[in-house]
Amino acid sequence: MKLYYAPGACSLSPHIVAREGNLPVEMVKVLFAGGRTTETGENFYDINPMGYVPTLRLDNGEVLTEGVAIVQYLADQAPSANLVPQKGSMPYYRTLEWLTFISSELHKGFSPLFRSGISEAEKASIVERLAKRYDRLEKALSTGAYLLGDIFTVADAYCYTILRWTPRAGIDLSKYPNLSAYMKRIETRSAVQVALKEEELV
Ligand SMILES: N[C@@H](CCC(=O)N[C@@H](CS)C(=O)NCC(=O)O)C(=O)O
């Protein structure tokens, strides 16, 4: 399998899942500044016409897009790593709930901040909206080490990835003690360290 990524982008989430699951996933960097070619010289639009990462190419050539789908696919390839609770159980639906929250409320809440020409007023309103999402996460993490309690799931890989962008919003994470501890806890996981090193983020 090949996972197309950009360093520190949302593709870090499936990258972490791949390493947590000890899966033989080859990482291929997409050069956003280079007209969307890959480091191996492919035209990335030929692989994903939307031009965004993460994108997973399976060994049979099939392409899977959308981070939320990719992390679940990867988790299913490594069942012994327990990265998704048993399908049909309440914790499974909680995982889907968190994945959807992170995707639509957090990840896409951040996206406008990366656009050029955003005004200070727009930025302030985006940050205010994001802060409410941080409040929800802070409360959720008051009762457990991870979003689902004691077990690390794909939702944590995604949440950690997006919260790494906190400095871009100018949000002070130290105001959120549970979230600060959560980030440190995840960062020290050996699979996370491997993924960070492979993306040259540490
Ligand atoms: N709906 C996609 C969005 C992925 C996405 O926003 N990727 C960003 C990086 S975090 C990207 O590649 N942006 C470049 C672009 O959209 O052209 C998903 O959830 O996987």
Cβ atoms of residues 141 and 178 within 8 Å? yes
Tell me the CA–centroid distance for residue 55 and ligand 1, in Å: 9
In sign, the C-alpha dihedral spanning 141, 98, 19, 27 is negative
Task: Please check the confidence at residue 5 and state whether its pLDDT lies above 80.
Answer: yes
Tell me the CA–centroid distance for residue 180 and ligand 1, in Å: 25
- pLDDT given for residue 56 in this prediction: 98
Residue-wise pLDDT for 99-113, tens only, equals 999 999 999 999 999
In sign, the C-alpha dihedral spanning 61, 82, 137, 100 is positive
Tell me the CA–centroid distance for residue 53 and ligand 1, in Å: 5
For atom 1 of ligand 1, which residue has the closest CA? 66
- pLDDT given for residue 34 in this prediction: 74
**C-alpha dist (Å) from residue 71 to 36, 44, 154, 176:** 23, 20, 6, 27
Ligand 1 pocket: which of 13, 45, 52, 106 to mutate (most atoms within 8 A of CB): 52
Average of per-residue pLDDT values in the chain: 97
Neighbours of 57 (CB within 10 A): 18
CATH code reported for the domain at 90-189: 1.20.1050.10
C-beta 103 within 6 A of ligand 1: yes
- Domain layout of the chain by residue ranges: 2-81+191-198, 90-189
Q: Taking CA 178 as the corner, what is the angle to CA 174 and CA 184, rounded to the nearest 5 degrees?
A: 75
Q: What's phi and psi for 175, nearest 5 deg?
A: -75, -10
Same-fold call for 2-81+191-198 versus 90-189:
no
- pLDDT given for residue 23 in this prediction: 98
pTM (global) more than 0.95: yes
C-beta 152 within 6 A of ligand 1: no
As a whole number of Å, the end-to-end CA separation of the chain is 24
Is CATH 3.40.30.10 the classification given to domain 2-81+191-198? yes
For atom 14 of ligand 1, which residue has the closest CA? 52
Residue-wise pLDDT for 56-114, tens only, equals 999 999 999 999 999 999 999 999 999 999 999 999 999 999 999 999 999 999 999 98
